[in-house]
């Protein structure tokens, strides 16, 4: 275990950024999102959650796959280069790290997504324990311990000092690179911090949310439930929940006419959008009820059915905070719980 004073963090960031790219939570006009560190960046480690999850670091909202250039009758196809430089994401939370684990299931299973795999291979995650969890958090429900994030490096902010513990080889390498600024210390203060965080988690209103009945075998029962008919109504079909989510992984592939060729890119898709999974024959989900249902069935039924029971929700609570109509996965789970009770 090492530590570094909070006021020395800019020096640490400078050191890391000197040899590889560094992503940190940055405050831009009042909103905190992960962005590349620059000298003038306003780094914000106090705000609990970035608006967007940090999944962009591995699965960007938009990325080129290849570009076609046309010169007379000659067409050249230039594939996009894969990530080949090491980078660090500093300040992810335990839920966000678990979100990456969910993405791994999708993108690292056969056929492996080479763009994602290259980023994962070159990325080192420094995860920060949640000093003061908030009422919209429910990571505990998914077995996540926000007091002890599992990443390449786990970190804790206690009384103006950042405690640092490498957990993997990548983490050891980063520790070595940052050694000149880190001092060795014992774990006493971190142990106290962990206990304090866990005590707060117990008090959070969503910590006792029950996922009973949500599993890969519940498909027919949940899919056909009349509960959806009332639930989806406030939904205005925007993509906020899907775009702030650390685990939403659906993407679309599009061509952009550059005027002298074509740029093929992929971008996040949202099951809330009317052209989601549109095919030549049309769309297989024609109503908002179906699209709304898709999101929650995917997270709580389809994903566990295909991934040994693993849910594709990590309880970060961003959808809870950001939905314009105050709908969210917690309300969905509770609505089904209530219906079960009524029967």
Partner 1 sequence: MQELISRAKELLADGTVARVLGWRAGDLPYNPEPAYFTTAEELENFVYNGFCGANLSKYMIEASKLEGKTMVCLKPCDTYSFNQLIKEHRVDREKAYIVGVGCKGKLDIEKAKKLGIKGIESVSGAEMTNAADTLTFQTIYGEKSCSYAEAMLERCHVCKGKEHMVYDELIGESKDTKDAERFAEVEKIEAMSPAEKFAFFQKELSKCIRCNACRNVCPACSCRKCVFDSTKFDSAQKANVDSFEEKMFHVIRAFHVAGRCTDCGECSRVCPQGIPLHLFNRKYIKDINELYGEYQAGADTESRGPLTNFTFDDCEPSIVTQR
Which chain residues interact with partner 1 by CB under 8 A? 28-31, 33, 48, 51-52, 61-62, 132-136, 200, 203-205, 230, 233-234, 236-240, 242-244, 252, 254, 256-257, 263, 265, 267-270, 273-275, 278, 320-322, 324-327, 330-331, 334
Q: How far apart are the first and last CA of the chain?
A: 53
Q: Which is nearer to partner 1, 52 or 299 (CB)?
A: 52
Q: Which is nearer to partner 1, 106 or 200 (CB)?
A: 200
Q: Which is nearer to partner 1, 183 or 287 (CB)?
A: 287
Give the C-alpha separation, 297 to 222, whole Å: 8
Count CB atoms within 10 A of the CB of residue 22: 24
Q: Which of 133, 50, 143, 157 is nearest to 101 (CA)?
A: 143
Q: How far is the CB of 44 from partner 1 (least distance, A)?
A: 12
Give the C-alpha separation, 341 to 168, whole Å: 46
Q: Which is nearer to partner 1, 166 or 201 (CB)?
A: 201
Give the C-alpha separation, 245 to 29, whole Å: 21
Q: How far is the CB of 228 from partner 1 (least distance, A)?
A: 14
Q: Which is nearer to partner 1, 110 or 275 (CB)?
A: 275
For residue 279, give the DSSP letter: B
For 20, list phi and psi in degrees, rounded to 5. -160, 165
Q: Which of 96, 89, 246 is nearest to 170 (CA)?
A: 89
Q: How far is the CB of 75 from partner 1 (least distance, A)?
A: 19
Q: How far is the CB of 275 from partner 1 (least distance, A)?
A: 5
Give the tokens for residue 288. Answer: 């908002």
Q: Which is nearer to partner 1, 116 or 265 (CB)?
A: 265
Residue with tokens 């940090």: 54
Q: How far is the CB of 251 from partner 1 (least distance, A)?
A: 9
Cα–Cα–Cα angle for 209, 145, 129, rounded to 5 degrees = 125
Q: How far is the CB of 88 from partner 1 (least distance, A)?
A: 23
Q: How far is the CB of 207 from partner 1 (least distance, A)?
A: 11
Q: Which is nearer to partner 1, 94 or 333 (CB)?
A: 333
For residue 311, give the DSSP letter: -
Q: Which is nearer to partner 1, 165 or 331 (CB)?
A: 331
Is the backbone of residue 229 left (phi > 0), alpha (psi -120 to 50) or beta?
alpha
For residue 112, give the DSSP letter: P
Q: How far is the CB of 272 from partner 1 (least distance, A)?
A: 9
Q: Which of 98, 291, 296, 95 is nearest to 213 (CA)?
A: 296
């Amino acid at each position: 275990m090492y530590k570094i004073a909070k006021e020395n963090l800019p020096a640490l960031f400078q050191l890391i950024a000197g040899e590889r790219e560094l992503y940190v939570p940055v405050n831009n006009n009042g909103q905190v999102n992960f962005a590349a560190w620059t000298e003038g960046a306003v780094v914000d480690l106090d705000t609990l959650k970035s608006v967007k999850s940090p999944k962009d670091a591995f699965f960007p909202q938009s990325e080129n796959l290849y570009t076609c250039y046309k010169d007379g009758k000659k067409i050249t196809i230039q594939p996009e280069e894969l990530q080949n430089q090491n980078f660090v994401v500093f300040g992810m939370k335990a839920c966000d790290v678990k979100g990456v684990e969910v993405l791994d299931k999708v993108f690292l299973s056969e056929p492996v997504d080479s763009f994602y795999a290259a980023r994962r291979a070159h990325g080192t995650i420094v995860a920060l324990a949640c000093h003061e969890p908030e009422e919209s958090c429910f990571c505990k429900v998914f077995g996540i311990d926000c007091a002890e994030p599992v990443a390449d490096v786990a970190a804790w902010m206690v009384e103006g000092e950042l405690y640092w513990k490498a957990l993997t080889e990548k983490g050891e390498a980063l520790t070595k690179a940052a050694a000149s600024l880190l001092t060795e210390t014992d774990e006493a203060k971190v142990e106290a911090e962990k206990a304090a965080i866990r005590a707060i988690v117990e008090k959070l209103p969503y910590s006792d949310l029950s996922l009973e009945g949500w599993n890969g075998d519940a498909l027919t029962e949940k899919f056909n439930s009349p509960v959806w008919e009332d639930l989806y109504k406030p939904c205005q079909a925007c993509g906020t929940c899907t775009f702030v989510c650390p685990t939403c992984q659906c993407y679309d592939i599009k061509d952009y006419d550059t005027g002298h060729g074509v740029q093929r890119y992929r971008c996040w898709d949202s099951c809330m959008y009317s052209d989601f999974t549109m095919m030549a024959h049309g769309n297989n989900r024609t109503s908002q009820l179906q699209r709304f249902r898709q999101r929650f069935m995917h997270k709580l039924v389809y994903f566990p059915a295909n991934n040994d029971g693993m849910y594709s929700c990590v309880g970060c609570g961003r959808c809870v905070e950001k939905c314009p109509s105050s709908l969210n996965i917690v309300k969905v789970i509770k609505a089904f719980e209530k219906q079960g009770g009524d029967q």
